[in-house]
Amino acid sequence: MSDAKSSGRTYYNSRYQHGIDEKRRIQIPAKWRPESEGTELTVIVWPQHQAGTCLRVLPPEEMAKLMSDLAALPNGDPKKVVLKRIIGSESVQVPLDKAGRICLSEEMVSAAGLKGDAMLVGLLDRFEIWNPERYHKAKAADAVIAHEAFKMMD
């Protein structure tokens, strides 16, 4: 078991390519699975990348942070309701089955363009599920600004 797991914190790093079965189930890597049985992950249709839509998967603590961030937005800003409506209607909480898989809805699979295989990509505190072709486009687009992005860490 990794040090991150033994400290109670899961870090979503690396990337994995897994098949999606006929029931739209996808295997979650063992080291990314919640330790507590019955813990649900939140899956959100995430249309924010120029390469296309993916699915963003948040563990409970990150979903709580998202809810807090949304609550902190000014109530008078109409974009707050739009964000809440889109995130609320385009997300679902999913349990892991005994084999460590989550089941995705037909709508989510279609929105993310998933067929046959999916790429699970770690974002350290959460992860994304991509159509492998879209992911390679996203990775190429990210590479263009990576040098500038890393300057944020200096």
Q: What is the pLDDT of residues 36-82, one digit of tens each?
A: 888 999 999 998 888 889 999 999 999 999 999 999 999 999 999 99
pLDDT category of residue 3 using cuts at 50, 70 and 90: very low
Task: Give the angle 21-24-30 at the CA atoms, nearest 5°.
Answer: 75
pTM (two decimals):
0.90
Q: What is the pLDDT of residue 1?
A: 39
User: Rounded to an integer, what distance in angstroms lies between the CA atom of residue 71 and that of residue 83?
Assistant: 11
The topology under which CATH files domain 3-151 is Chemotaxis protein chec (3.40.1550)
Q: Which sequence spans correspond to the domains of the chain?
A: 3-151
